[in-house]
Chain A
């Protein structure tokens, strides 16, 4: 049992930090230890070592000959800044952030809809979640059929006379459409996940608040903006944060659908990291780690922006 100095009823709370006995402290750390050890081994150490590698030369030849990483300072970062492919990939990843507000608004809106207690709503909740658990390889085959020159999308557009047969093209083969086509797949895959998180948040809002607002004659739009959104701020922050980081780290869809093409229009920063770290025996862990650090820095910066935008003004939230 953890014993601490607690305020006694009838007395004002004690100021300053509560004092814990040595036994309590040791016991607390003892409970934390298993998780901390796992985190240290599988998260903190790889993170620290990966960051260190970003400042070294460590690739196929050194590795193959059993030589340790060689400290090169900022050389890898200079190489990155001089590589047009990296700059383009970083720009594409930042451009990919366009999906964040669209995905969040859509999943919040649908969460509000499926939160209603209507018959058959469980089916919709499950249906929207199916893409989240669909394997990316299967999704790739399916979306390839959709986007193909002779695929479903062109067929549908042709059926409503929006495009003629000789105007049709493969949506993933065109430098102007491939990026958006891949983004739609990300939307399709992520939508259900965020919807479930929002649904959980919505179900945590006390029903009395809604009822009181209804009695006061508030419209559903007013209730949404004045009750739902403020109460959901912590969930919105979480989802926006996760979605921002996921957008910056998008890789799977790109790998299986376009491999970064055409003309590198879908080549993302993580694709760059992946290709440098895992390109056969000529891998370059140093450069890949440096690129990873740049992506992490951008993610941290954007996370700070998210916190600023969605911080719960009451101070109790996330």
Chain B
């Protein structure tokens, strides 16, 4: 055998060996979550490990992003190192999709499969122009449950919890006057959201007209805002509700016996359990009061696949795995989130518990309600500018700088002049 043949054989052998190694080396998928570490490290890591076992050709590199999530996302796209699966909320998904950052996931997973896995509304929340841009992940309901401090309710002379928002608004004065504690903390202007629009939706008042223009300035809208303005001016709503997220204010004040009720997701209970275990044990959990339309509002996270992802097929597998019913139920066992998978409604985890632990009660009350996850309105393309304008106007009404009607008129004028669809 000549040297030439030997060299060729050697080259061939090496190529085969390298080729096999390349074929066997797993595809690395970069996965970004949002504010889940360190509290849920165990859950995320074990789910990743299950995924890798089920998909030996794929390895997952996980990062948890916090404040800088969106900026990091944009920078990574710029640098050519985009992540493959990213956890975004409904508003950010809409903006990212409109600006061309996202791949529509119905091109990766058949629409029929998406429709059979998820409830219709949570899927619709991530649908723009007929295309689905995220696999719906864990959700929450804004009304969710009502939890209350029975001692404060008794002191206020109230025998039962409010069953509607009208009753709740009516109780605010009684509770504060008789106990010194606030009745609850409404989400008047949660930072970077349009939380007050949720109250309109709850009462069956439209946000947009048939042509898609902002239309939340009728006399009925103004009357509803005025009710909150009157309570705020009377000192029946904590001042901090104009500056901070209502959930934060409520979970700070409730453990100090300064708020009688919290309307919201059961996740508030986790904080109360940490800060005041005695009050936590006494806390009663019941169904949340609803607005006149008797609907819930809520939101969910989604898992998106960036256009710039180099491994969209593998990314889709990972996203589908994390958002599957089994994974979402496992997550709901760790923290009382609301799964967005339709199979969750039949899960024994959400069978009504009687008595016992408040978190278990709350979980059973809301866990199977994923079908109601609905923000109540579609986020406009330039939501940051428009939400700021809405919140500035709500604040002006609360602080007496504008009438409720003028505040809403000004907002609607601004929205219709500047809204990007």
Q: Which residues of A come within 8 Å of B, CB atoms?
A: 60-61, 63-65, 148-149, 169-170, 172-173, 175, 258-259, 261-264, 275, 278-283
- Chain B nearest Cβ from A280, distance in angstroms: 5
Please give, as numbers and ranges, the residues of chain B lying within 8 Å of A279 by CB-CB distance: 384-385
- A281–B70 touching, CB < 8 Å: yes
Residue of chain B at shortest CB distance from A170: B239
Query: Contact partner of B99 among A170, A175, A259, A281, CB < 8 A?
Result: A281
Please give, as numbers and ranges, the residues of chain B lying within 8 Å of A282 by CB-CB distance: 95, 99, 381-385
Those 6 A-B pairs whose CB atoms lie nearest each other, nearest first: A64-B100, A64-B99, A60-B99, A281-B95, A279-B384, A281-B96
Please give, as numbers and ranges, the residues of chain B lying within 8 Å of A149 by CB-CB distance: 239-240
Cα-based distance from A295 to B77 in the complex (angstroms): 29
Residue of chain B at shortest CB distance from A279: B384
Query: Contact partner of A259 among B74, B191, B239, CB < 8 A?
Result: B191
B282 part of interface (Cβ distance < 8 Å): no
Known A-B contacts A261-B395, A263-B396, A264-B392; A61 and B98 likewise in contact (beta carbons under 8 Å): yes
Q: Which of B73-108 contact A (CB under 8 A)?
A: 73-74, 77-78, 91-92, 95-96, 98-101
Q: Which residues of B come within 8 Å of A, CB atoms?
A: 70-71, 73-74, 77-78, 91-92, 95-96, 98-101, 191, 239-240, 242-243, 307, 381-385, 388, 392, 395-396, 399, 401
Cα-based distance from A280 to B78 in the complex (angstroms): 15
- Chain B nearest Cβ from A99, distance in angstroms: 22
- Chain B nearest Cβ from A250, distance in angstroms: 18
- A173–B239 touching, CB < 8 Å: yes
Query: Contact partner of A281 among B78, B92, B401, CB < 8 A?
Result: B92
In the complex, besides A63-B74, A262-B395, A281-B96, 11 extra interface pairs with C-beta distance below 8 angstroms are A64-B77, A149-B239, A149-B240, A173-B239, A275-B388, A278-B70, A279-B384, A280-B91, A280-B96, A281-B73, A281-B74
Cα-based distance from A172 to B95 in the complex (angstroms): 32
Cα-based distance from A191 to B11 in the complex (angstroms): 71
Residue of chain A at shortest CB distance from B238: A149
- A275–B384 touching, CB < 8 Å: yes
- A61–B239 touching, CB < 8 Å: no
Please give, as numbers and ranges, the residues of chain B lying within 8 Å of A65 by CB-CB distance: 99-100
Known A-B contacts A263-B392, A263-B396, A280-B70; A173 and B101 likewise in contact (beta carbons under 8 Å): no
Residue of chain A at shortest CB distance from B91: A280
Cα-based distance from A278 to B71 in the complex (angstroms): 7
- A262–B96 touching, CB < 8 Å: no
Residue of chain B at shortest CB distance from A257: B243
- Chain B nearest Cβ from A116, distance in angstroms: 43
Please give, as numbers and ranges, the residues of chain A lying within 8 Å of B78 by CB-CB distance: 63
- Chain A nearest Cβ from B114, distance in angstroms: 23
Residue of chain A at shortest CB distance from B97: A281
Please give, as numbers and ranges, the residues of chain A lying within 8 Å of B98 by CB-CB distance: 60-61, 281
- B384–A172 touching, CB < 8 Å: no
Please give, as numbers and ranges, the residues of chain A lying within 8 Å of B99 by CB-CB distance: 60-61, 63-65, 281-282
**Could you list some 28 contacts between A and B, CB below 8 A?**
A60-B95, A60-B98, A60-B101, A61-B98, A63-B74, A64-B77, A64-B99, A170-B239, A170-B240, A170-B243, A173-B240, A259-B191, A261-B243, A262-B243, A262-B399, A263-B395, A264-B392, A275-B388, A278-B71, A280-B92, A280-B96, A281-B70, A281-B73, A281-B92, A282-B99, A282-B381, A282-B382, A282-B383
Of residues B71, B96, B239, B401, which shows the largest number of chain A Cβ atoms within 10 Å of its Cβ? B239
Residue of chain A at shortest CB distance from B71: A278
- Chain B nearest Cβ from A259, distance in angstroms: 6
- Chain B nearest Cβ from A46, distance in angstroms: 13
Please give, as numbers and ranges, the residues of chain B lying within 8 Å of A173 by CB-CB distance: 239-240, 242-243
Residue of chain B at shortest CB distance from A173: B239
Known A-B contacts A60-B95, A282-B381, A282-B383; A262 and B70 likewise in contact (beta carbons under 8 Å): no
Residue of chain B at shortest CB distance from A259: B191
Cα-based distance from A280 to B191 in the complex (angstroms): 13
- A64–B101 touching, CB < 8 Å: yes
Cα-based distance from A287 to B266 in the complex (angstroms): 41
- Chain B nearest Cβ from A291, distance in angstroms: 14
- A280–B243 touching, CB < 8 Å: no
Cα-based distance from A61 to B95 in the complex (angstroms): 9
Cα-based distance from A60 to B74 in the complex (angstroms): 9
- Chain B nearest Cβ from A142, distance in angstroms: 15
Please give, as numbers and ranges, the residues of chain A lying within 8 Å of B382 by CB-CB distance: 282
Cα-based distance from A279 to B386 in the complex (angstroms): 12
Please give, as numbers and ranges, the residues of chain A lying within 8 Å of B77 by CB-CB distance: 63-64
Please give, as numbers and ranges, the residues of chain A lying within 8 Å of B383 by CB-CB distance: 280, 282
- Chain A nearest Cβ from B375, distance in angstroms: 16
Please give, as numbers and ranges, the residues of chain B lying within 8 Å of A61 by CB-CB distance: 98-100
Please give, as numbers and ranges, the residues of chain B lying within 8 Å of A283 by CB-CB distance: 74
Query: Contact partner of A261 among B91, B242, B384, CB < 8 A?
Result: B242
- Chain B nearest Cβ from A129, distance in angstroms: 27
